[in-house]
Structure 1
């Protein structure tokens, strides 16, 4: 038996409780993992408090990230004792995730835990850091370098934003952070932000093109903020879009793309192909400053996750929450 957070729905009411579960209840998969650490993401918090639309089948174990040790494998790539991680692929949505003592999943969803990273550090990075690295790689694919000019990061107080600031600063970029929480200024500066701007910096003005201020940007908000960011990027710049905290609409014109040659690159961390995943995690292990990473992390036991979820949704948690499972 092992402990698991279990999301259930009965008569339209969603509940999340800590339960004792037997190994026979685990879903199908090639590899069984004893989970040591997971993380608590915004998507997990939504799943635990509201269920749908994040959760696609019930009952469900949340947790879009996991790290642990292989205990049984029918996949020739992995052997018992191997240290592995997994992010995305529907974990915590359509397949039981990492907020449990055990997980069973297809071997192709797993990656060897990168050398130099502990399980705690890997989950401190998790989907947020992985997504941030994919955004940085997209900027690089667009031809941007530290010499290109400043990079704006919207939603800087969240996990993706904070990770993006750390990575960009470590790589030598000038980073401009946008946040609606003034109390985070010292924290964002410690992560490497050179300038911090208020949220209304990216409020719409109705102009097809804004003053060109940034070489590129990373946005987790979408909607008006993303549109204004695209309209404010310099000629030849790239914007990486990876979230929709502000909504799914995108009210902009073609002007930034045909007059300034701006590239808008979408980032999907859930179904990212394995070669790109391997490259991103290798970069994370190499490029992240462990001291700055540690300053972002909050640790909590599995039993505390239910109480933390509403605080994440309310914007009361900064950085990343690492869950110690076992």
Structure 2
């Protein structure tokens, strides 16, 4: 690797918040025991908040954001990873309290990494990213519920925040798994998009923002909620 490389660095001195692409070297990366050459990272809602003003998520400055990344190991003091192996990172508060993936190189705790499956590329891993990983976990949980019910079929599944990252991928995956998906969104201009990725029905979010009634009529077998608040309360009512 070269002596220096580029990273997005955010900094705050009193009330002055800055963000810039800077040239740094390995000594800047103070966390972890595995050095990774970053191929790709994705842009998540939390990243946008941090890039805007730190969002009180970053506790120490200067800081490198980016809550996920994929790439290949360059140096390792962790026995589970060797140079050249391709890896993925999502979560573990990387990009918040640890330096993240918006850098050409990232150094993290090896326990935070997973080895990239052979059937996907590092680019595809970050096309899915943290949102896709979360959506897959939700979708597999719905499928697991059906299997645990000993033959009782799960048919109707509700997805809130359906045009967001987690929501839209959940709609797509759940539809592919054979469920009838109802998408909840306030962005009616995206109704055709939601239908194109598998939504059978679409409900405006405003229908879920009333005060919930206890023991309301059950309409769905499962739900994936990405919004919370009154919308979640009405889903559960």
- After TM superposition, the score normalised by the length of structure 2 is 0.93
- Where 1:214 maps in the other structure, the secondary structure is coil
Alignment equivalent of 1:91, drawn from 77, 81, 94? 94
Alignment equivalent of 1:213, drawn from 216, 219, 227? 219
Number of equivalences = 231
Q: Does 1:152 align with 2:122?
A: no
Cα offset, 1:167, TM superposition: 1.2
Equivalent residue for 2:70?
Answer: 67
Equivalent residue for 1:322?
Answer: none
Equivalent residue for 1:39?
Answer: 42
Q: Does 1:80 align with 2:83?
A: yes
CA distance in 2: counterparts of 1:127 and 1:105, whole angstroms: 17
CA distance in 2: counterparts of 1:199 and 1:13, whole angstroms: 38
Equivalent residue for 1:203?
Answer: 209
CA distance in 2: counterparts of 1:55 and 1:194, whole angstroms: 40
Equivalent residue for 1:17?
Answer: 20
Counterpart contact for 1:7–1:17, Cα < 8 Å: yes
Q: Does 1:3 align with 2:6?
A: yes
Q: How does 1:168-207 map to 2 (within 5 A)?
A: 168-207=174-213
Consecutive unaligned residues of structure 2, counting only runs of 5 or more, are none
CA distance in 2: counterparts of 1:201 and 1:139, whole angstroms: 24
Counterpart contact for 1:33–1:104, Cα < 8 Å: yes
Larger Cα-atom Rg:
2
Cα offset, 1:154, TM superposition: 0.3
CA distance in 1: counterparts of 2:66 and 2:50, whole angstroms: 9
- Residue deviations 1:168-208, cap 9 Å, x none? 11111111111111111121122211111111121224411
- After TM superposition, the score normalised by the length of structure 1 is 0.68
Range 192-201 or range 60-69, more displaced: 192-201
CA distance in 2: counterparts of 1:135 and 1:47, whole angstroms: 26
Q: Does 1:57 align with 2:63?
A: no
- Residue deviations 1:235-291, cap 9 Å, x none? xxxxxxxxxxxxxxxxxxxxxxxxxxxxxxxxxxxxxxxxxxxxxxxxxxxxxxxxx
CA distance in 2: counterparts of 1:107 and 1:13, whole angstroms: 34
Equivalent residue for 1:142?
Answer: 145
- Where 1:213 maps in the other structure, the secondary structure is coil
CA distance in 1: counterparts of 2:231 and 2:86, whole angstroms: 40
Consecutive unaligned residues of structure 1, counting only runs of 5 or more, are 232-326
Higher relative contact order (CA closer than 8 Å, sequence separation 6+): 1
CA distance in 2: counterparts of 1:183 and 1:146, whole angstroms: 36
- Where 1:165 maps in the other structure, the secondary structure is helix
- Where 2:11 maps in the other structure, the secondary structure is strand
Q: How does 1:229-248 map to 2 (within 5 A)?
A: 229-231=235-237
- Where 1:61 maps in the other structure, the secondary structure is coil
